[in-house]
Structure 1
Amino acid sequence: MNQRSVEQNQPIEPAMPPAGNPDGTTRKALKIELLIVLGLSLGQSGVYSIVNLIDKMTRAPLGSQTTTLNNSLNKREYFDLTYQLLDIFFALVPVMLVFYLLWRLPGGNPFARLGFDLTKPFKDLGWGAGLFLAMGLGTLGVYAVGRALGLTTIIVPAALDDYWWTLPVLVLSAIRHGILEEVIVVGYLFERLGRLGWGKWQIIFTSAVLRGSYHLYQGFGPFIGNVAMGVVFGYVYSRRGRVMPLVIAHAFLDIAGFVGYALLGSAIGVGS
């Protein structure tokens, strides 16, 4: 995945904007905005995740506990479906807020600003697929080590009842996670912290630690794995200035985990 053009080797404005705020926004206003956006989204998730981890650690060894993702939300089929779709939709509202805030800046299309568009579909898909393969193998390895050391809970990626809509909803849930996390934790955070004058590696590590924090409820293994993934994703974004490859890779990872478990997990004993 070497850089192949002079354009790709130039500084990417969306990832590392120049210090200062030509739109007139004060540093204090940017900091308040950051706290609000994170407080409505993944920063809030990080706080809850830390508390949840403490709760689990004071109950029993982490290795003996189970963390279940994608739970059923209602015993009645179509109410469950309704709640699932509402959960996915409202989880993406902070992303809409981010694009609105960026739209108010001078400089044009906020989707182009973060590289969340379809202008480079084949390059984005290629990078996304490559990151998916690299991160997928790493994720499995970190999970196995974490389980062996008793630092990671048993993770059940999907626990929905078996309906006709189960797999489509799992796919939508995976896409939701990809969009939410990569747009906010990478694209938005890079843009705003860059305007506050932070350096590239300061932003990369801050973004990576934030990514790890909201996975702590699964144990220390997923925290470490997601911090490492955050460093890789942050560096790729700093070079390419596009979140779309990261969204694709993240969605592929979650689709493989959610749908793969729903289809094969119980049969092959995944999660034990």
Structure 2
Amino acid sequence: MTGRLRQWFNPSSPARPEPTAEERRLGIVEVWLVFGITLGMSALRSALSLVQSALRPGPLSDQSVALNAPAAVNQYIDMALQLTYALQLFGWGALGWYLLVRAGFTLRDIGLDLGQPARDALRAVGLAALIGIPGLALYLVSRHLGVNLTVRPSTLTETWWRTPVLVISAIGNAWAEEVLLTGYLVHRLRRLGWSENASAGVSALVRGCYHLYQGVGGAVGNLVMGLVFARFWQRTGRLWALVMAHALLDIVAFVGYSLLAGHVSWLP
């Protein structure tokens, strides 16, 4: 293994003052509180959802799960509820951003400044391709093996607001997951004395559990995505690139599925 690869897989933590016992205790409490009301609780519900699906007769692939499903009969109430769900995701991400800034970090420190728009966009496209293509293959294989549910990215009815709402939902998902799971959690664990590898591993594990409702393939694919994204942030510090890459993946999945479902034979 070359020196560059060794440094990638075993990066050194940036220099930082050792936290006091009180800071460590409050930091642990803060992490539990943040994830107890955001993605951590969602991960617990996701795990229970998979158990419920596994207890039903037949393979998981005979069951389906919709990522964006109608929430009301009236289309305008439905639209309002969809936007409310997205607003909650933006709020979760904003909480992680606020706590990082409150801890003394600037937007540049966490990679949310606008200093590298072109480079961030190029990195986002590369990361989306790196994750998206193998991820789709993993989903198809795991579904064929009967260990993954049939994932329907959108079952929203065809309305004038469907596409913009799906785009907003995709951006909300990306913002919440990357700010909380990558920026906030990896930093907080690092501050508590965890190694870079351990911090990345915990972040990826929470991300994988958050997607357990999809089945084994969804969980494993997102765990790998979490490892790649966490290491990318540790090496580059550019969180915008991750937010954009995640948003691009979800926009293609949500909008693409809504436009093609029922028109091509290979889509469930």
TM-score by structure 1 length? Answer: 0.90
Amino acid at match of 1:247: V
- Structure 2 residue aligned with 1:193: 189
- Structure 1 residue aligned with 2:69: 71
What is the CA distance between 1:227 and its match in structure 2? 0.9
Superposition pairs of residues 141-152 of structure 1, within 5 angstroms: 141-152=137-148
Number of positions where the alignment pairs a residue of Structure 1 with one of Structure 2: 257
- Structure 1 residue aligned with 2:214: 218
Superposition pairs of residues 81-96 of structure 1, within 5 angstroms: 81-96=79-94
What is the CA distance between 1:19 and its match in structure 2? 5.5
Q: Secondary structure at the match of 2:227?
A: helix
CA deviations over 1:142-196 (Å, ceiling 9, x no partner) = 0111011111111110011111010000000000011000000000011100100
| Aligned equivalents of 1:78, 1:146: Cα separation in 2 | 37
Pick from 92, 99, 102: which aligns with 1:104? 102
What is the CA distance between 1:104 and its match in structure 2? 2.2
| Aligned equivalents of 1:269, 1:119: Cα separation in 2 | 44
Superposition pairs of residues 241-256 of structure 1, within 5 angstroms: 241-256=237-252
**Structure 1: 5+ residue stretches without partners:** 1-10
| Aligned equivalents of 2:173, 2:12: Cα separation in 1 | 25
- Preserved contact between residue 12 and residue 196 of structure 2 (Cα < 8 Å): no
Pick from 137, 149, 158: which aligns with 1:153? 149
Amino acid at match of 2:89: A
| Aligned equivalents of 1:95, 1:250: Cα separation in 2 | 14
Structure 2 CA distance for partners of 1:135 and 1:85, relative to 1, 3 Å: same
- Structure 1 residue aligned with 2:5: none
| Aligned equivalents of 1:243, 1:173: Cα separation in 2 | 19
The yes-or-no answer on 1:38 pairing with 2:43 is no
Structure 2 CA distance for partners of 1:166 and 1:56, relative to 1, 3 Å: same
| Aligned equivalents of 1:269, 1:113: Cα separation in 2 | 47
Structure 2 CA distance for partners of 1:191 and 1:63, relative to 1, 3 Å: same
Q: Secondary structure at the match of 1:114?
A: coil
- Structure 2 residue aligned with 1:240: 236
What is the CA distance between 1:91 and its match in structure 2? 2.2
Amino acid at match of 1:54: V
TM-score by structure 2 length? Answer: 0.91
Structure 2 CA distance for partners of 1:53 and 1:19, relative to 1, 3 Å: farther
Superposition pairs of residues 43-58 of structure 1, within 5 angstroms: 43-58=40-55
Q: CA RMSD in A?
A: 1.8
- Preserved contact between residue 208 and residue 229 of structure 1 (Cα < 8 Å): yes
- Preserved contact between residue 12 and residue 238 of structure 1 (Cα < 8 Å): no
The yes-or-no answer on 1:231 pairing with 2:227 is yes
Amino acid at match of 2:77: F
Pick from 11, 26, 31: which aligns with 1:29? 26
| Aligned equivalents of 1:229, 1:57: Cα separation in 2 | 24
| Aligned equivalents of 2:15, 2:36: Cα separation in 1 | 23
- Preserved contact between residue 93 and residue 177 of structure 2 (Cα < 8 Å): no
Amino acid at match of 1:142: L
- Preserved contact between residue 114 and residue 242 of structure 1 (Cα < 8 Å): yes
Q: Percent identity?
A: 37
What is the CA distance between 1:259 and its match in structure 2? 0.3
Pick from 244, 251, 257: which aligns with 1:261? 257
CA deviations over 1:200-226 (Å, ceiling 9, x no partner) = 111111111111001110000111111
Pick from 60, 63, 73: which aligns with 1:62? 60
| Aligned equivalents of 1:219, 1:101: Cα separation in 2 | 32
